[in-house]
Chain A
Amino acid sequence: VAVLPDAGFAATAPGRQPAARADATATLTEVFVNSARTQFRLSVRSAFSVGLMLSTIPQAVVIGWIAEQSPQQSQIEYVAFGALLNAAWTAGLLRIGWSLVDDMRNGVLQHALLSRSPLVVAMAGRASAIVSLAAVAGVVPFLVVWLVSGVDPPFDRLWLVVPALVGSLVSIMIVALTLMPLLALEQDKAGFVNALVPVGSILSGFLFPLSAMPGAVEFLARVLPTSWTSELVQLASDGGSIGEAAARIAVALLVSLAWCALAVRLFLIVERRMRVNGSLQP
């Protein structure tokens, strides 16, 4: 697919554009990378803001203290990794959820719409940058839970822990990407995203096993790819087998693909609505 090179322009500040190419075309990969790179530059400072770091500590202290009461060490490890993912979920979802709306408000979404690049690719690049930086905010609650609970890190299972955490971050990015067009379609955005963040956090099972929830709620949670990747983290904490991990990875991939298809569909609705109306207001 040949598209114009300014596809990542939606993620750029005025006056900042990706370098132009001689043939004036870009592949989807370049669109993704350009968008991610630009968003990374824009967000890297706020990712290390004191307010963001501080905001994760109180809850981490509380959940670390509760987990420390548990007789099982694996439970504490799971909560520590969960605290990281929960913070990444909260920070990532809030920022990604608002980014399309912010573009509309700042009047820079026109550039993305004028481009022939698919909006969803540029936004996926942006989402990847935001979630990567949101994971930085997760390091603080992770360390706080370790400090409060005082257990040893599971260095012997890093081969499973690291892929599980990376998979969880990717699934967070996919869910957040799907929510972007929903926010643009929804009128009262603040209430919408503020309610989704804690609900999604609970349903994802970042901080407790899904089996702790009632059956109907657990069934609902299975729709989220994050719930499957959270189970992967739990397996890593419990020392699960490769077969169990592979099964969950396969299901997580399938569910993630379904969410990606939904995201593409929703972005098409947003683009069509704006272009037909001739207005950036949904």
Chain B
Amino acid sequence: MYRLARRARGPASPWPARILALSGLAVIALGVVLLPGAPRSLAQAAGSSRPASITVHGPHMLNPNTINPNTGAAKDYTYPSTVTVSQTNDLVNQTIQVTWSGFTPTPAATLPYTASTTLYPVLVAECKGIHPTFSQCFGTNNGGVANTLGSPSNAIFTATAPDGRGLADIQIFTQVQNQTLGCSAQQRCSILVMPAQGGGINANGFAASCNNHSLDSQGAALGQYDFGLGQPEFPCSWAKRIIIPLSFSPATANCPIATANLNIIGSPMLLRAMDQWDTGLCEQANPLTIGYNPFLPEQTAIQTVQSGGGDVALTTRPAPSLVSGSVRYTYAPVAVTAVSIAYYVDDALTGLPFTNLKLTPRLLAKMLTTSYNLGDVSCSTDTGSGKSLCDPGIYGKNPEDIFADPDFTRLNPGVNINTVALGNASSAADVPIVQSGHSDMTYEVTRWIAANQDAQNFLDGQPDPWGMHVNTNYLPTKQIPQLYPTDAFLAQDPSPQAARAYSPVFPLSLAVTEMLNSAPPGTQDFLSIDSNDSAFNYQHFPAEVPGQRALFAVLDSGDTSAYLMPTAAILNHAGRYVQPTQRSMAAALQSMVTASNGITQQLNLNSSNPAEYPLTMVIYAMVPTHGVSTTKAAQIARWLRYVAGPGQVQGSSPGQLPPGYLPLPAALQTEAMNAANAVQDQSGAPTGHTTHTTTPSPSASVSPSPAGKVKATKPSSGISLPTVAPKITLVSVRDPQAAGGLRYILPITLIVGGLAALTGSSLLVGDTGAALGARIIRVLNPRTLRRKTRKIK
């Protein structure tokens, strides 16, 4: 989230007084620019542990338009360059973003980047120390040759756009990931931003003045020379480097390895928050050890917990029943998160990623139903009948991919088949990386699609205004009268091209890794003839190369925030395109609808609030209010009070809420505290919340079955609209198992709620102090930050 917040802040430096700007000539004379970042003390004085971006002014870069073709002499731009780094302090193993302006543009014709073809590229690397030599910058010693994916280097070779701007997302290695750099609280490191500046060589091939640019276009401005230590061109570019010091978090996660006190299962979206909370809890004086299993889908998690396989289930959609044997359960909200539609789509003209894409439900539906013509592949024919195996609804008719679809290009001017570098992406571009199996995320995404009339019409078989038709394999059938909503993405087009490209992934963390590595999980539709392959095998798509990527993925905002993946602004019911931000998620909470259980809430897809992000999700812990031992109950209550209390403070320290999640608003926090009290009491009293009215519906709440048809024009069955003005209303509890004691429930709830509010808030204060005292920052779940991709032979 802070990526967006930071961007909104603009390029202006928050610490102008700290900015050191040097003129280009002075820089060359000095040979080094060391631009200090904000000292830690400053950030602490500001009372914020949140990461802050830093902008520095650098040297004036070469203006290639001024090169005199005869003498090679050239002028620099009249304005200094700037470099912004999204975070320079308290770093863990994470991704940070480096952006720049006022750099020498890279001619589009020389893209994508290679060391021997691309003019005026930029090198971004992590270096040991704050006065590094070139050799101390990791992954730079290959003569400008980019380490391909699959190698452990984090150095980035990229380009500058015609407007002088550029960006690079660089993964920061701590000493855990890279002992050569050894970055830690004791060993400072730095970011190198080194522009290729050409010059330095004359027509005879001898070293010359840095201001002799006569050979720039013939090679003097290439990465292989400008980033090649020992080359005559090298010093001219090294002289204009910008070094930005980094400082690291004091320690990594260091919980004792112990048997878990509590076993918690479900909601893979919560992985990052759970990791930080678990660390916070284990570092307390009286440690509580959590075993977290993010691999079981939500509904399986509920079932597993209700049959004794765990203590707490995490879910967004409610359980079929809150009673299992002698155990009764309730729900406690623990986090607000969102599904985000991530993408890596690179601009063929600049080599840089696009970062402002918009998507509609219909566009996502087109991709999820493999309705594009998959790169206009040659269609295989059935050997027997000679008939085409491709879907007649799309083959030869529909756009070859999303970038050729007017439905997309009208929304995203400038992003089209001429500007997107498809590289080896081909059909992989048209099939997003999604989670396989049954998932609440999938349910919310497909519910959003189905609630949009344009998308639903498309899925029902009506062509879009440009004549594009849904893949006929996904048309409604008697068996599946409506495709969406569903909680599992299923492949339905058997043609080899579509079937092989379509490859949902389990678990979610693997989908994140595939996206991070730009490695689409689908396979080629032809058998390998590679002799290294023992059998004739369907090879995975090759990993896409930065600068030539075209990939979409349906992921969660915790992961996309941690890895700074660009996420699409998507259409909400008010007709606005909205990014998953703190603000848009908070707006979505305002109008959520409550299920008939009186507690769990889901997004209101008919809300007219233009600010809301329509894939916002509340994650609930299903916790026992009756039937477990007092010690177990106390542990669960303690866990709840912690995660819903101090665990909602944002930050990257143990116990805090990582970026990408929205802190629970007060009403939900109260609800969680009520639940915690009910868990501790074990009296079986149900809990609820009192902010929204609920229209009782005898048919169980939010129906996930395809039969529960959701249309934009009317609320889905069982979902009631909230009243416009939030008012305190008594909650009707329609849990059949609890109906007998219904008349006692309300008074008990209110009393318990009142007590809980008191207890909870006092606990909250105490725990917050404890959490703030914890200064150990753990690794930001680097488990999924794999430096290695699937081997592609």
A and B part of one assembly: no
Hey, which bits of chain B sit against chain A, CB under 8 A? none
